[in-house]
Structure 1
Amino acid sequence: MSTAKGGNGGAAADGGKGGAGKGQRSRAASGGGSGARRGSGVPAAPAAGPAPLTPGRIGIYVLLLVAGVLVALAGTLVQAAWFPGGLVLALAAVGGLFYGGTRATGTTAGALVPGAAWLVTVFLLLSDVRPEGDFLFGPGAGSYVFLLGGILVAVICATAAQMRTTGARPGRVGG
């Protein structure tokens, strides 16, 4: 059987017949096929295109938007209340929301929609100062770690989702 590499690749295996018998065409000359070899074990790259916007997907995005606002509110309160553990818990909730949104929708928007809602809510809460001088974020470093950590987690989840949708395989480059 001739390989798809062309040339006289099957000469040794066919006894010098050049890979194609009388009246037969080799796989390389057949012109058909999808470009991916059968049996090679390498999956074909997924179709590059946006996922269709169905009512169910819109509903998921609305739920992710609301969850982003709620996680921002809860994280703002928890990270300052129990400093070391609360900050870790708040960032874990943010990471779980963004990763879960990515897995639920299968798109980058699954991380970007709750990420944008979280970011807007956190910045609104950060800028909201009451006349008494009180605000929800404490003056310590934990507030900045929560803000920058949440942004970093959103970027990581969105980038990982984008790599999954383009079919990039994990592993070494050039290996």
Structure 2
Amino acid sequence: MSGSGTPGSWLTRTPTLPGPGRIAAYLGLLLLGAVVGTAGSLVQAAWPPGGLLLALLAAAGLFYGSLRAVGTQAAVVAPAVGWLVTVVLLSTGRPEGDALFGAGIGPIAFMLGGVVAAVMCATMARPAQPGGGTGRPDR
């Protein structure tokens, strides 16, 4: 049974690949996540504590905005991966001892807060489709 209204039908249908437009959107969001991660890494240490709040709001805004713009949870994963990889790479020090992140609670709060924001946005309910009902098959 592969009807669209039957429970579990997503398990039995053939998986479809995203189109080239959606792939381009995911790649753009990945790069935008890297940019926001870099900017947030610089801002959170420059203006404590307001910089930390600004950096976390920018990351959360990017994650939620990508969910609303594309409409899939995968659209949150793309900028989150770009953000996380950038922040982790910038947090590692060089062999000479230089590091972008300083000591203290700020960098830890930035990393954990960004990850929490990404998880919250990725697990949110998808936005309702225009003209759609409740999405439940019994109503």
Deviation, 1:164, is: 2.3
Report SS of the residue matched to 2:126.
helix
Look up the match of 1:135. Answer: 99
Q: Secondary structure at the match of 2:100?
A: coil
Q: Provide the residue aligned with 2:110 in structure 1.
A: 146
Partner of 2:126: 164
Do the aligned residues in 1 keep the contact of 2:67 with 2:75 (CA within 8 Å)?
A: yes
Higher helix share: 2
Give distance in 1, aligned partners of 2:80 and 2:16: 19
Alpha-carbon separation, structure 1, partners of 2:22 and 2:126: 19
Deviations 1:86-140 (A, max 9, x none): 0000000100110111111110011111111111111111113251x22111101
Identical residues among aligned pairs (%): 52
For structure 2, list consecutive stretches of 5 or more residues without a partner in the other structure: 135-139
Q: CA deviation at 1:59?
A: 1.1
CA distance in 2, matches of 1:113, 1:119: 10
Partners of 2:77 and 2:105 in 1: CA distance: 26
Kindly indicate whether residue 34 of structure 2 is the aligned counterpart of residue 69 of structure 1: yes
- Cα separation, 1, equivalents of 2:16 and 2:48: 40
When residues 51 and 88 of structure 1 are mapped into structure 2, their CA distance, relative to the original with a 3 A threshold, is: farther
Partner of 1:83, secondary structure, is coil
Greater Rg over alpha carbons, structure: 1
Letter in 1 for 2:87: V
Counterpart mapping for 1:1-175 below 5 A: 53-131=18-96, 133-160=97-124, 163-164=125-126
TM-superposed deviation, 1:54: 1.4
Partner of 2:137: none
- d(CA) in 1 for partners of 2:40, 2:127: 30
| Superposition TM-score, scaled by structure 1 size | 0.62
Q: Deviations over 1:33-81 (max 9, x none)?
A: x98xxxxxxxxxxx85877511111111111000011111100000000
Match for 1:65: what amino acid? Answer: L
- In the TM superposition, structure 1's runs of 4+ consecutive aligned residues that sit over 3 Å from their partners are 47-52
State the SS of the aligned residue for 1:137. coil
Q: Alignment length, in residue pairs? A: 122
